[in-house]
Amino acid sequence: MDALKTFISLLVLINPLGNIPMFISLTANQTHKERRKTARIASIAVMMVIIVSGFLGDWIIRFFGISIPSFQVGGGILILLVSISMLNAQIGNARQTNEEKVEAEHKANIAVVPLAIPMLAGPGAMSAVIIYAQRIQHWYEYLYLIAGATGIGILIWLALSLADPISRAVGQTGINIATRIMGLLLSAISVEFMVNGLIQLIPALGRS
């Protein structure tokens, strides 16, 4: 498993910077102390989702009789949908529907649901973790996964804790530009997943 590539891919997928406006909106009625607590819980929750998906994802898809190549193609399509939304500087319904957004605005505790799941660590991120975990060949590579999840958790905590100053400094335009760039990178990652899966499902494609 390429630890650096996995880390960057997941960071692009989770996109802490692009979720800052939503975090500010959902925590508008919270005090500074409550906001920091929400950011901390959300970052820990995302870290745990990555680790659990990496360790148990293979068992789950095998339990349902899903082949790894099929999951790669399906996961690639899902990630492509997320990237298209990001290219339009939007969160996208793959992460949160309008109904979920309205419900979240009336929840007392939004750190885990919907902030961590599905806004940050949505189905796309979970799929990517499971796909990358398939490439683990040695036990110590799981330590890379844990380290990467911890690093992403720290970056999420920093981004959300500093949401207001970052938003003022970068502005909505700056956040949108960064989100679109990440969406472009993510689209390439999704195509790679789909191509690798299709080559395994249809070996003739790899010889053409």
Amino acid at 173: T
pLDDT at 68: 87
**What is the number of other CB atoms lying within 10 angstroms of the CB of residue 14?**
27
| Residue 39: per-residue pLDDT | 96
For CA atoms 97, 99, 102, 103, the dihedral sign is negative
**pLDDT given for residue 90 in this prediction:** 75
Residue 33: per-residue pLDDT: 92
Interatomic CA distance for residues 206 and 208, integer angstroms: 6
Residue (of 160, 168, 137, 186) closest to 8 by Cα position = 186
The whole-number pLDDT of residue 52 equals 95
- In this structure, how many other beta carbons lie within 10 angstroms of the beta carbon of residue 37? 15
Per-residue pLDDT of the chain (208 residues; tens, 9 = 90+): 688 889 999 999 999 999 999 899 889 888 999 999 999 999 999 999 999 999 998 898 888 888 889 999 999 999 999 889 888 877 655 555 565 555 555 555 789 988 999 899 988 899 999 999 988 889 899 999 999 999 999 999 999 999 999 999 999 899 999 989 999 999 999 999 999 999 988 886 666 5
- State how far the Cα of 48 lies from the Cα of 78, in Å rounded to an integer: 21
